[in-house]
């Protein structure tokens, strides 16, 4: 993890990394929701405005982040072609926690224990989105375009409908 974030946990790591990148992020507490539609309504967004940050393990043991809008899932053939590999997989929760320092449901590239390449689905471009914020019960609102720029993320069609 970046030494600037040593000792910081959860939303504090997210906010510190965002500040270091010059990225405007608003972390808000959010109630539990039973569905994507309910979560979107509670946050005042369309379901596609809730973006999952998925940790993806490469065949060589490295990882990457995939930013996937609500209502969509990774298209493995598209993502493999973009990354230029034959094998990608979602690691189990313990591996994702070790790789990022965040539990599933809270994962974000912001403040991650390791900085991995970021791949963003093109559908999020031009939108204000809500991401995991490093702790359960919180979401981080951010401009997708600014987030993409701050990570030098690759943008492409990497998803398909759920």
CB 2 within 8 A of CB 101: no
Q: What pTM was computed for the model?
A: 0.94
3 state DSSP class of 118: strand
Q: What is the pLDDT of residues 51-65, one digit of tens each?
A: 999 999 998 889 999
CB 93 within 8 A of CB 103: yes
pLDDT of residue 153 exceeding 80, the answer is yes
pLDDT of residue 1 exceeding 70, the answer is no
Domain 3-161 -> CATH class? alpha beta
125-129 mean pLDDT: 97
* Domain boundaries, given as residue ranges, for the chain: 3-161
Q: What is the pLDDT of residue 37?
A: 92
Q: What is the pLDDT of residue 2?
A: 54
Show Cβ contacts of residue 2 under 8 Å, excluding neighbours closer than 6 positions: 17, 20, 115
């Amino acid at each position: 993890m970046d030494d600037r974030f040593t000792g910081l946990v959860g939303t504090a790591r997210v906010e510190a990394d965002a500040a270091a990148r010059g990225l405007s992020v608003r972390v808000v507490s959010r109630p539990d929701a039973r569905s994507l539609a309910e979560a979107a309504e509670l946050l005042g967004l369309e379901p596609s405005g809730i973006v999952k940050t998925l940790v993806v393990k490469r065949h060589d043991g490295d990882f990457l982040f995939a930013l996937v809008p609500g209502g969509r899932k990774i298209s493995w053939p598209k993502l493999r072609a973009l990354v230029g590999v034959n094998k990608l997989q979602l690691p189990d929760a313990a591996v994702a926690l070790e790789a990022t320092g965040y539990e599933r449901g809270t994962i974000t590239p912001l403040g991650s224990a390791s900085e991995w390449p970021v791949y963003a689905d093109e559908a999020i471009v031009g939108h204000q989105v809500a991401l995991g914020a490093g702790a359960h019960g919180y979401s981080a609102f951010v401009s997708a375009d600014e987030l993409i720029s701050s990570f030098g993320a690759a943008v492409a069609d990497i998803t398909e409908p759920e």
